[in-house]
Structure 1
């Protein structure tokens, strides 16, 4: 599982996940998100924040994204690691 960096939206100041932009490792595109006042102002209508899909600077330029191992819910032992790495 890969965790995307979270960046503050310039419009609503919420911390939103940002996916990396191809060819620009220091830039990210904010994920689509609702404005905080959506239910009060727009009811049930689907309305995106004005900052959705904006391209923003990522906080940690040049660092490798981390892959995390899913936790075993049963609490059992993890299988022994091998010298090979799976690609998928």
Structure 2
């Protein structure tokens, strides 16, 4: 599933927003690091303060990829069953 991207109000980055149950027009921003913070060994990770906020989702349909089953062999489908 492709999640829509919404601008984080705190760090101004485009972040994926997952749907919120029971609220079709709302989404929750995924956790993300602020752009100015670089990962240093031994230092705890600090998420952007805009992470996990509930935001308005952009209008439109979410894109869901579904694997379709392969069609049966054409020879088997075209042959009538004789009893």
Q: Does 1:30 align with 2:21?
A: no
Counterpart in the other structure of 1:49: 48
List, as ranges, runs of 4+ consecutive aligned residues in structure 1 with deviation greater than 6 Å: none
Name the count of aligned residue pairs: 69
Structure 2 residues not aligned, in runs of 5+:
73-83
Counterpart in the other structure of 2:71: 80
Structure 1 residues not aligned, in runs of 5+:
71-77, 82-88
Instruction: Decide which structure has the larger Cα Rg and report it.
Output: 2
Q: CA deviation at 1:67?
A: 1.6
Q: Does 1:68 align with 2:65?
A: yes
- CA RMSD in angstroms comes to 2.1
Q: CA deviation at 1:27?
A: 0.4
Q: Following the alignment from structure 2 to structure 1, what is the Cα–Cα distance between the partners of residues 23 and 56?
A: 10
